[in-house]
């Protein structure tokens, strides 16, 4: 095995030395050059991909409830659209920056390509603490932000989705603001909407479902029976709880789950349906637990599969030597630092990267976009069946590179993504 590409998108967390962490943009560029170094592709294409196509910076004035006007900064970074319209989340967070949007947009380019979706990567957001906005202020901010970026988004241009601090309601406001100004109802301008206005069944569960599917596939590949597999999952939110419940349903033994306050641990197996997810009752895991252990201890439990599904940078050089699982399936974005990634590779611990494992979210977003364009809703069963097909296809493509080149699964995923993007650039050429 070779050392993995680096992988840490978010601000440093935990107790590890901050020099271990890098920005989303540094990470995305390193991933690009690392994958490119293992491929025979035109260096001019790699040079082009180091930069976003466009970055839109806007100011968003809103009237607060007390009548004062506040102005917020908003961004939409559009990285590469060679394979289709830009696609990526919009976050409302005080730490949103220009460079973070660019890095995360690049990341979305790789994620869409590894899933072979006809989209390129984008990311955006507003520098604001959404917890300090009333519902009315959040709606006015969203509508005005939509107007400021209206000319650069659209079903065939750039399709935003929810991210940190935004949700289905936010997407419904964007869809409404865009539709009112364009004078036609345009559900395909955003994904992650409520089903009543063109949202897809199964969208919310999709990232967790893809994590569970990939866990099942990795067990099959390494001749492990799911019925004899133990799993520990950090985080019991949209990703963690959905993955936990599916794996439990499919026969695996989920021995640990956690929330921000600690982890529930039961070596005999947890009844995952009986514990409320973050969405159903925030931070309830520890409340329902008989046996609570710290989150750090969950990460080093001697289980078959470890699924970090809470936040970034939790597997670091401080704890990588202590990870006892055979497989790490990345549910969160960027849970493993690049230093930790190299340590895990040296220790022969298999890491399935986030751009494959949690890509069910953007894949069902693609299904939502298809449904909106065709004005035809799919059943939940169809969504889940098609997600299974897409995950299997992506897995097969990544597995093939993994076997052919004797590299890590992360490198294999980036190579699949970059090969597809480079091929499209070569076919289209550089204009003029």
Looking only at the bridges linking them, the beta strands covering 230-234 and 305-308 are: parallel
Pick the closer one to ligand NAD by CB: 332 or 417.
332
Residues that bind ligand NAD (CB under 6 A): 207, 234-240, 258-260, 278, 283, 295, 309-312, 331-333, 358, 361
Q: Minimum distance from CB of 296 to ligand NAD (Å)?
A: 9
Residue whose CB is less far from ligand NAD, 323 or 422: 323
Q: How far is the CB of 48 from ligand NAD (least distance, A)?
A: 27
Burial classification of residue 376, based on how many CB atoms lie within 10 Å of its CB (0-12 exposed, 13-18 middle, 19 or more buried): exposed
- Residue 70: name the closest of 141, 2, 149 by CA: 141
The catalytic residue among 54, 87, 111, 123 is 123
Residue 74 or 202: the one with the smaller Cβ distance to ligand NAD is: 202
Verify whether residue 111 is a known catalytic residue: no
Burial 161-188 (b: 16+ CB within 10 A, else e): bbbebbebebbbbbbbbbbeeeeebbbb
- The CB-of-302 to ligand NAD minimum distance in angstroms stands at 19
Collapsing DSSP to helix, strand or coil, 154 comes out as strand
Closest approach, Cβ 295 to ligand NAD, in A, equals 5
Q: How many C-beta atoms surround the C-beta of residue 44 within 10 A?
A: 11
200: DSSP letter: P
Q: Is 235 left (phi over 0), alpha (psi -120 to 50) or beta?
A: left
Nearer to ligand NAD, 58 or 260 (CB): 260
**344 or 356: CB nearest ligand NAD:** 356
At its nearest, how many Å lie between ligand NAD and the CB of residue 369? Answer: 15
Q: Which helix (H) or strand (E) holds 329?
A: strand 327-329
DSSP state of 336: B
Catalytic center residues: 123
């Amino acid at each position: 095995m070779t050392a993995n590409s680096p992988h840490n998108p978010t601000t440093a967390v935990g107790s590890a030395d901050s020099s271990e962490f890098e920005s989303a943009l540094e990470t995305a560029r390193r991933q690009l050059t690392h994958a490119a170094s293992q491929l025979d592709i035109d260096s001019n294409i790699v040079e082009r991909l180091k930069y976003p196509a466009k970055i839109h910076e806007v100011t968003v004035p809103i009237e607060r409830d007390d009548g004062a006007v506040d102005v917020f900064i908003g961004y939409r970074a559009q990285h590469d659209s060679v394979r289709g319209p830009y696609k990526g989340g919009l976050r409302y967070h005080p730490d949103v920056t220009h460079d973070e949007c660019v890095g995360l947009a690049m990341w979305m380019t790789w994620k869409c390509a590894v899933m072979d979706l006809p989209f390129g990567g984008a990311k955006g957001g507003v520098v604001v603490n959404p917890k300090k906005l009333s519902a009315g202020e959040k709606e006015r901010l969203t509508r005005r932000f939509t107007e400021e970026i209206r000319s650069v988004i659209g079903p065939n241009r750039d399709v935003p989705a929810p991210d940190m601090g935004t949700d289905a309601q936010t997407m419904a406001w964007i869809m409404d603001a865009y539709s009112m100004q364009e004078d036609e109802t345009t559900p395909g301008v955003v994904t992650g909407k409520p089903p009543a206005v063109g949202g897809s069944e199964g969208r919310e569960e999709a990232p967790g479902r893809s994590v569970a599917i990939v866990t099942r596939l990795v067990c099959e590949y390494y001749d492990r029976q799911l019925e004899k597999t133990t799993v520990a999952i950090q985080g019991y939110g949209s990703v963690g709880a959905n993955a936990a419940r599916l794996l439990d349903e499919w026969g695996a033994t989920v021995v640990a789950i956690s929330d921000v306050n600690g982890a529930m641990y039961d070596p005999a197996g947890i009844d995952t349906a009986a514990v409320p997810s973050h969405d159903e009752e925030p931070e309830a895991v520890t409340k329902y637990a008989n046996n609570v252990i710290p989150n750090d201890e969950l990460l080093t439990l001697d289980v078959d599969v470890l699924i970090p599904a809470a936040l970034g940078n939790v597997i670091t050089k401080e704890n990588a030597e202590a990870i006892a699982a055979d497989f790490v399936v990345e549910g969160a974005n960027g849970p493993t630092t690049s230093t930790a990634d190299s340590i895990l590779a040296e220790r022969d611990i298999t890491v399935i990267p986030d751009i494959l494992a949690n890509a069910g979210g953007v894949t069902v977003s693609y299904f939502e976009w298809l449904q909106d364009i065709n004005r035809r809703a799919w059943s939940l069963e169809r969504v889940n069946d098609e997600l299974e097909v897409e995950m299997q296809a992506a897995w097969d493509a990544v597995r093939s590179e993994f076997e052919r080149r004797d590299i890590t699964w992360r490198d294999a995923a980036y190579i699949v993504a970059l090969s597809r993007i480079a091929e499209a650039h070569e076919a289209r050429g550089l204009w003029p």
